[in-house]
Chain A
Amino acid sequence: MKPATLADLPAGARGTLAELRLPEDDAARLMALGFIPGTQIVMRRAAPGGDPVVYQVDGTEIAIRRETARCLILEESA
């Protein structure tokens, strides 16, 4: 089974970030915005049309595209 990603979260759901499967530079940029492994992230809402998606991370709302969210792997929930 494929691991769950940020893109799989429905609105209002939360998950803990495990890994950023992105090139190093892009991962560093996202990490500077708060997307650090171990952080809890809440899916707030999708923009009209479904993309990009607004996530609440480290107290801020950040929008990223679904293609990026699919590369952010969540920890398996127990």
Chain B
Amino acid sequence: MTATLGPAAPPLSPPPPQPLVVALVGPPNSGKTTLFNRLTGLRQKVANYPGVTVEQRHGRIPMTGDRPVELVDLPGTYTLDPRTDDERIATDVLTGRMPGQVTPDAVLLVLDATHLARHLTLAAPVLALGLPTLVVLNLADDLQRRGGTVDTAALADQLGTPVTLASAVTGEGIETIQRFLTGRFGVPKHIALPVLQNLPACRAWATQLTDASAYRSPAAPIWTRRLDAVFLHPMAGPILFLAVVIGVFQVMFSVAAPLSDGLELLITGAGARLGAWLPVGFGRDLLLDGVLAGVGSVLIFLPQILVLFVLIGVLEDSGYLARAALIADRTMARVGLQGKSFIPLLSAHACAVPAVMAARTIENQRDRLATILIAPFMTCAARLPVYTLIIAAFLPNTPIVGGLIGLRAVTLLGLYLLGFLAALGTARLLKSTILRSDRVPFMLELPPYRWPTFRALGFRLIDRSRAFLTRVGTVILAVSLGLWLLGHLPRVNGETPALRESVAGTVGRAIEPAIAPLGFDWRIGIGLVTSLAAREVIVGTLGTIHGIEGGEESPGLQEALRQNLTPGGAAALLVFFAFAMQCVSTIAVVRRETGGWRLPALQFGYMLALAWVTAFAANHLVTALIAR
């Protein structure tokens, strides 16, 4: 690894000329994004194309020539025959029909050298555009290792445009690409192309080309065959699958939890320092309890989410995730979903926000929406402090199953199961009503297994965390600030009011009639309002109301809860938190990913109604059971 991740030195004056725009085109799994990262480093911008949720990636190439180069990473596509959103966008950008995007000055066509004949099919429509083109045969290291060869000069001659072998992973051939980008672009020579709409003809044309350029395809990846014999074995496969899922959870909680605790201590410590130093007043309270606590509530989730991103990155880059999706498909198909929904639903156990973003990998639009709509039912990290507090306050840790497991642990597992079942049931409901499948067949390419590289993992980590922090951090910060203000206004005689008399308290009391049937009083009502920022905020709010410092382990807070919550109400509160969409960040990210308020509004309403009805039932059931 010779290239660095850091940005290059800023260009010197005079003002830079208009950049050249170069589009990166290639089929899925051609290593296009790795190449993009290799060429641009972290000088990237990610946005959505207007009207659709396909990601638009731009990146600057460090200046080596006399003009800056802007690289546009197009969605992976096998054809330029616009049938899906991805294909339509790739086609529109290349033909200059994409609003806000100039026609590219040149094209980098990235193909997988180990699947050259099949991938060359895409060269026909791309060359037909007549734009200056460099054909990059990526994964050259893989080709060579497995004994494949290709005469790039002969292929270039056939295609009438330059061809180079490259490896985005090892960096081989990158210089040639950079030379192409900074040199003078030449228009491809006119060559005879097949009829573009005729896919079999294009495929036959590709075979002629590989034959004429002495292409020897690489030996079958033996290790992939051997590994698949184990990972997809009828018995061992599912067992290993479960082991991987349990392993992900185990690492997420055992590695990330201490990191979160450490960060929390750090933030509390910083708050105390700052508090001693700042003058007493409204401004100090706003800064400490509003801003710092708000930022803190984002930061303490970050370790868990980063660990999750690393784990999923390892699984994805190694090729196992495709196998996991294959194994999960049969089960997911029963509720109308598909194997690719498995990854977002696994992520949702840390946080629904990255899960909703991860649903982008599902090409089928309806399956994707269904996955987004059910993801918030999964038990996320923010529910755990709430569960822990209520369970500890109301349930003795009676050993059951012969002392193997405690009653509290069983209850917690039951809540996980409850969320999971609600998700599956909702998926079933959605897929038989508003998202009835458009019957796009499930297709999954199984890439060869490979070792994940630190470089690619590092990129993924930085990229995803940046997206998470900018999308969620800002929302949580704004909402926690807003809610803090609601809890401290209106001022009475220049003093902060008691929480009961504040705006939040007024709202909490106003909704009391609606939540009384669930066994909740106005105190819980205030908690329900403030926990919209993030579910675990209710713990702090209840502490404030009862004037008790300390978190969910605090015996004082548990005692206070037992005073104003019946066992029925406690059960109802657990169920309510399992089902209600008490999370503004998730609402915000769903709006972003679905391009409107319709679906998040529907989702919020549905989850709230379900939460209310089941909490009502839980309250009355538990109360009746105890009275007996």
Contacts and interface: CB of A to CB of B under 8 A. Distances in A.
Contacts of B439: 26
Nearest to B79: A32
A65 B232 contact: no
Nearest to B322: A63
Contact of A60 (B115, B235, B326): B115
A63 B200 contact: no
A52 B326 contact: yes
A51 B78 CA distance: 25
A64 B441 contact: yes
B446 A61 contact: yes
B445 A45 contact: no
B313 to A, nearest CB: 22
Interface in A19-35: 22, 25-26, 28-34
Contacts of B199: 28, 31-32, 36
Contacts of B17: none
Contacts of A26: 439-441
Contacts of B114: 59
Interface in B307-332: 326-327, 329-330
Contact of A31 (B200, B329, B444): B200
A64 B238 contact: no
Q: How large is the interface on A (under 10, 10 to 19, 20 to 34, 35 or more residues)?
A: 20 to 34
B442 A65 contact: yes
A64 B444 CA distance: 7
B203 A59 contact: no
A58 interface: yes
Given A48-B238, A58-B118, A64 B446 contact: no
B234 interface: yes
B190 interface: no
Contact of A59 (B81, B117, B333): B117
B555 to A, nearest CB: 48
A58 B115 contact: yes
B213 interface: no
A66 to B, nearest CB: 10
Given A26-B440, A64-B442, A34 B83 contact: no
B224 to A, nearest CB: 8
Contacts of B234: 48-49
Contacts of A31: 199-200
Contacts of A22: 441
A52 B330 CA distance: 7
A67 B442 CA distance: 10
Contacts of A36: 199-200, 203
B620 to A, nearest CB: 41
Contacts of B81: 28
Nearest to B236: A48
Nearest to B441: A68
Contacts of B237: 47-48
Nearest to A39: B203
A10 interface: no
Contacts of B228: 44-45, 54, 61
Contacts of B117: 58-59
Given A36-B200, A47-B327, A54-B232, A61 B442 contact: no
Contacts of A32: 78-79, 121, 199
B67 interface: no
Contacts of A38: 200
Contacts of B203: 34, 36
B152 interface: no
B443 A33 contact: yes
Nearest to B446: A61
B365 interface: no
B217 interface: yes
A26, A28, A47 — most chain B CB neighbours (10 Å): A47
Nearest to B440: A26
Contact of B445 (A25, A44, A50, A60): A60
B67 to A, nearest CB: 35
Contacts of B78: 32-33
B94 to A, nearest CB: 17
A62 interface: yes
B443 A29 contact: yes
A47 B200 contact: no
A45 B232 CA distance: 8
B450 interface: no
A52 B118 contact: no
Nearest to B221: A61
Nearest to B200: A36
B45 interface: no
Contacts of B443: 29-30, 33, 62-64, 68
Contact of A29 (B83, B217, B232): B83
B233 interface: yes
Contacts of B339: 52
Contacts of A50: 330
Contact of B232 (A37, A48, A60, A67): A48
Contacts of B440: 25-26, 29
25 contacts: A28-B79, A30-B443, A32-B121, A37-B200, A38-B200, A45-B228, A47-B232, A48-B233, A48-B235, A48-B238, A49-B327, A51-B330, A51-B333, A52-B442, A54-B228, A54-B232, A58-B117, A59-B114, A59-B117, A61-B445, A63-B329, A63-B443, A63-B444, A64-B441, A68-B441
Interface of B: 78-79, 81, 83, 114-115, 117-118, 121, 199-200, 203, 217, 228-229, 232-235, 237-238, 326-327, 329-330, 333, 339, 439-446
Interface of A: 22, 25-26, 28-34, 36-38, 44-45, 47-52, 54, 58-65, 67-68
Task: List 6 tightest A-B contacts by C-beta distance, closest first.
Answer: A32-B78, A68-B441, A61-B446, A48-B237, A63-B444, A49-B330
Given A63-B326, A63-B446, 11 more contacts: A22-B441, A28-B81, A37-B200, A51-B329, A51-B333, A52-B442, A54-B232, A58-B118, A59-B114, A60-B445, A65-B442
